[in-house]
Structure formats: C-alpha cells, structure tokens
Structure 1
Amino acid sequence: MTYRDGAHLIIATAWEANPKDAVALVTKFGQLQALQVAEDSSIAEDALGATFAEALANSLESVPEHRQQFGAHEDNPDHMSLRVVMRQPHSEADIILHKDGRKHTFQYRQHWDRDRGHVAKGDLSRSAEFTQITLGFVGESIADGVDR
C-alpha cells in the first residue's frame, strides 16, 4: 500500500461511504486544489501538496517521521499538531498545522462549483475531522508494511 492509497482510504472512510459512493468521494475530495494558507501569504499554498490527496499522502509520510514533535506537550517549543477537516456538500478541506507556535491553515477547494454556477462557499452542515493520531497510525502501518 502506498501513502496515496492510504490517503484515499482515509477520505473514503471519513464519510463512512458505502463502496459504490467511495470512489466518487475519493475523486471529489482527492482532486481539490490548494487554494491558500489562510494566515500567511508568504507560505506557498501547495507547500503540503498541490491537491488534497497529495497533501494527505505527504502528511501520512511525514507525521511518523516527526513523532517526537507531534507527541510533545503543547507548551514545548518543538510541539507540532495537525488536524484535518473535510466538509460537504460543497467539497472542501483544510489541513491545519500548528508549528513553531503558529497556526497554518492549508485550504483545499474547488475553484469553481459547476453545479451551482458560482464559486463554492463552505457549508458546515456535514464535516469529518481527524488528527495526527490517525495520520500517524496509518502512516506507520504503511511504512512498516500493512501485511505484517
């Protein structure tokens, strides 16, 4: 299993999708484009990845590599945390990274919502959220070889 496969698996299971809907969810969320880092325009919007699936896959690989920082108490200057929020019905996602005492919200959006004919707006009626704990567990499982 690759980190990209793991990202797709998380996207599908975050919504408890049945198999016939899982592929559409993975496609819809996985292709969301990096839009911006909300708090700091000096950080490239695609610093984690150009698409949500790529950013999630990169996070699966990097969270276990930085286990000490992600496991540090929030008072520790080396502390890092990561939270992922996915929202529907207008598919959008945020990856929120706390690092060096600063929050960085990487936003992934559809630049144009063809169904409604205007730029997609967030709708918080449904959301799925998970943290570095999920990413670390899945990432370590992939690194160790899922079959073991």
Structure 2
Amino acid sequence: MEIYDSYQSASSLYQQIAIKKSELSNIDKKEFQKSTFEKNDTVVLGEKNYDENDYQRVLNKFKNKDNEIKTHEQIHASGAQTTTAISYNYQVGPDGKLYATGGSVRFDTSIPKDPQSAKMKLEQLKDASSSVGALSGADASIAQAANLNKMLLESLKEGFNYENR
C-alpha cells in the first residue's frame, strides 16, 4: 500500500507540475502576443523607417521655403513703414524644427495731409509691395491701390474735380 501511495503522490506531483507548466506557458504566450502588439502599434523614435534621400529632399524643401519666405517679407518690411513686426506661419519639419511656410507685413497705410508727403508715402508703399520677384495677390493689390491713390492725388493737384454733380 505504501508503494501505491508513493506512486500516487509522485503522480499527483507530476500532474501539478504539468498544470503549472501549462499555466506558465499560457502566461508566456499572452505576454508574447502583448509585446508583439505593442511593437507593431507604437512609434519608436530614432529608428530609421524612411529613405534617407527622401528625408533630405523634404528637409531641403522646408529649409528653402523658410529662407524664401523670410527674405520675401524682409524685403517688403524694408521698403516702407510697418505697423507691426513681420508675422510668419510655421510648420514643423521632419527634423522637429519650425520652418516658415507663409508670412505677412502690415504697412502703415495712413495718408498724410500734405499732398507731397502723401505722394512720397504712396510711392514707398507701391515700391515696397512690388519690390519682390514673385508677387502674391496681396502684394499686387497693395501696389495697385497705392498707385491709384497716387494718380488720384496728382489729378487733384492738377485741378480735376471728381465730385458728383
């Protein structure tokens, strides 16, 4: 009977060990699935998953556009009086830095009472808004308005009267 009891206790021990191994195997399987899911689901910074040439091409486009926009707006601002600092629109580039993608300058468009000063200021506004190579719609509109106002001043000086009769 003792042999039978020992055999039964050894058998139950092996059975318990097998159950524990099975439980551990299931835990390992769940952990493996979880880690695989996390690896595929998350973004790991620093890993290269892009073509270096494409990255450099896009980065160069951001840098060139930034330089072009800033130069364009600084040329405008240097030509006439402004009411505020240059305003830029920014976008984050592929390297995590901010690059200008647009901008604007607010000119002082008040007209002095003295006709000669007004004519000079309108000429400055026209020159400042049209001094860059590639005119935006706003640039052209300001240059056109300044030119029309200058022509109106000159015609008033010559004695034309545009009042309604």
* TM-score normalised over the length of structure 2: 0.20
Which protein is richer in helix relative to its size? Answer: 2
More strand by share: 1
Question: RCO (CA 8 Å, sep 6+): is it higher in 1 or 2?
Answer: 1
Mark the structure with the bigger radius of gyration: 2
